[in-house]
Structure 1
Amino acid sequence: MMTKLRVLHASPTWFSPTSVVGGGERWVDNVRLALSAGAPEIEQAMVAIGEEPEVSLRGQSLVRVLPNQRGLRTPMDAVSSYLWREFENFDVVHVHQSLTDFGAYACCVAASLGKTVVLTDLGGGASPIMLQGGLAMADGIVSISRYAHAMIASSVRSDSLIISGPIDTDKFVPAATKPANPSAICVSRIMPHKGIDRLIKALPAGLKLKVVGRVYHDAYRAFLGELARGKDVEFIHDAQDDDLLGLYQSSSVFLQASCITDVYGSVQLKTELMGLTTLEAMSCGLPVVVSSDGGSLPELVTDAQFGAVFTNQDELQSLLTRHMAGFWPVTTASSAARAHVIQAAGLVGYGQRLGTFYAKVHAQKIKSLQGKSVAHSYSQ
């Protein structure tokens, strides 16, 4: 039987319009849901940093927002001395966005208090403090893809768990009836490294594309608007979380064209450390088309039955044209995509695996501390 643990999720931001509406923030929410489903014996809460202190309840987890005492505009660099007090009553502190200034500070605080420290990089920051020794303070590392883990592997000295997901497959379900006409969807923040320009350029005449996501780069959004002239492209920037299911269900294929080198020549190595919306779409029974240079995205396409990876513009256009004509994918794609996500990233299984990992690294930490205590007593 799993040892009862108290786990605190520590993140500089949280999933909210008043903080950040992004994949990393949504991931932390999903992890808490997964633990509630798969390891309900674990008590969990979350702490984040904001402009004003607040307390709320999300599901069965208390979320406390502490005031930013550093005064910097970049949320990833925020810190609060109140973290000492928040960490006190927990066994395991899981620090999210661990390669930021927040991550470095939180890791040091947790380690100094003797807590079991678990770290995850969700794409924010590249702190030299953490990459040049700080990650060695971790008792465990949770990486959200093989691609993400490879970027930090040389600095890791502890046990690691590489696991994609989790996805609420009870929420993201296929439509009762398929859409009458082929329709593509991309759910992504509007930023150059998301490669949405590649989708619009390859879009064949007669195929509708819905681009769903908030604008984080105004010049790029204007560029996309120019590319979309004369094509059936709908931009949806104000969709709420509850709107996503209907948007997925009214589509017939999901597209994600994230890239390491964007249209402006800028390089973003962390373009996609997992691809949460790709998994959500698959849970809704959508076949997916992803980019070969999209970081971890190719890892999600484990079967050509429900997914394809494109390497250039011609391949993407050919896939979309074949989809319009009904030649791709095979008729079993929808059920295969959903079955894969349930097995690989469903809440219960994910929560069980993560809960077991927490218990393992915490037991190792306790054993290590006991060993040091005995060694110290003999030295007296």
Structure 2
Amino acid sequence: MTVERLLPTPEAYDLIDLTRQICAEQIAPRVATDEATEHFPRDHFALLGKAGLLGLPYPEEYGGGAQPYEVYLQVLEEIASVSMSIGVGTSVHSLATSAVAKHGTPEQQASLLPGVLGGEMLGAYCLSEPQAGSDVAGMTTKAVLDGDAYVLNGVKAWITHGSRADFYLAFVRTAPDRTSGISAFYVPADTEGLSFGAPEKKMGLTASTTTQVLFDDARVPAELRIGEEGEGMRIALGALDSGRLGIAACATGLAQAALDAATQYAGERSQFGRAIGDFQGLQFLLADMAAATESARAAYVLAARLRDAGRPFSRQASVAKLVATDAAMQVTTDAVQVFGGYGYTREFPVERYMREAKVAQIFEGTNQIQRMVIARDLLR
């Protein structure tokens, strides 16, 4: 991917160069095979962690990079342009990490964050349930305090890294109140009573394992509760604002990959004795694809800069997620059109890009939910 970026420091440009090198040399050669065989690339997450790319927006004292969020997101875009599965996985890992970094006690941060930020520990974020997706407050998974531990029972659904993660940030009900009765827990993968459903058979992101997470009298030490009882909803929604920016960046990277592939193909494929890129109809299609991709990038970078400045950014995060994921769906669809019949085959990656784009309009809050968030903020 060749994108002209405006970054705040020379170090940020070095991080982009490092990311491109790792992606080109280590990740790209295996992406098509991993997706085709549904192989989970755990080693690539370890590689990104060792390079310092998993902990970019977190404090240096715990092994993070202390980078602005706008830099982290542009690194994430670079990763997703090569592997959407790894890009989304990196975003989810950061989402699970953020609660500990922001709401954990100093003792929790000191003991949990170094391994997480260094890539030795991979995280998962457990919020949705089979009957509680967009309606988060409708969750029924419960935790009951029993001595020095909480006993968890229930089912979480659509969990990225399910059965593959080393810890699960789980949001469960500790009191009946819909919004103030939810608490957050750091659940190690070896917790007794924790198990997983079969991997979901998905149309895209097939190298990213997604399962149900099952709690059956799973005992979690009280010291692994993150924040106070009843703060879970606030923690979850606060993290989701940043998580939506992660998905926006990933969707932008996917759109850029599709645009790059279509542009290259348009210059190489000939019809009627001319490169198809010489035809105005196709030129206009490529121009619209570029405009959508660059608009998506501008939207998430603006929201990230507001976040970095300590200003409210919830509405802008929803705008970025909406704009970027809709753009990814349109751009990848148009890329298939540029390739014509070949675009509908697995000989070229654009059919995979199109399949991968669809879920971005669904997870981290559907785009219908994003419209609700935006409208309510405008009318407030």
TM-score norm. by structure 2 comes to 0.30
Task: Specify which structure has the higher proportion of helix.
Answer: 2
Give the TM-score normalised by structure 1.
0.30
